[in-house]
Amino acid sequence: MSAQRMLFFTVAALLAGGIFLSGYQTVHWLLYVVTGMLVFAGTTGICPGLMLYQKLGFK
């Protein structure tokens, strides 16, 4: 496992912990999307956010 994938898993775990501690009914639905994207990126190695920024011209 690469360091980048481990970083994705760590950030997803921290977000999930924050969602749990805040309460599932009080957090905005967008946090679930971000957490899901990070878990997907950690599992597959394909980061949708990184691909989007590369298509926008960032390096």
Q: Which pLDDT score is estimated for 17? A: 97
How do residues 4-27 score in pLDDT, each as one tens digit?
A: 999 999 999 999 999 999 999 999
- Per-residue pLDDT tens over the stretch 37-47: 999 999 999 99
- Residue 39 CA, chain-centre distance (Å), reads 6
pLDDT of res. 58: 92
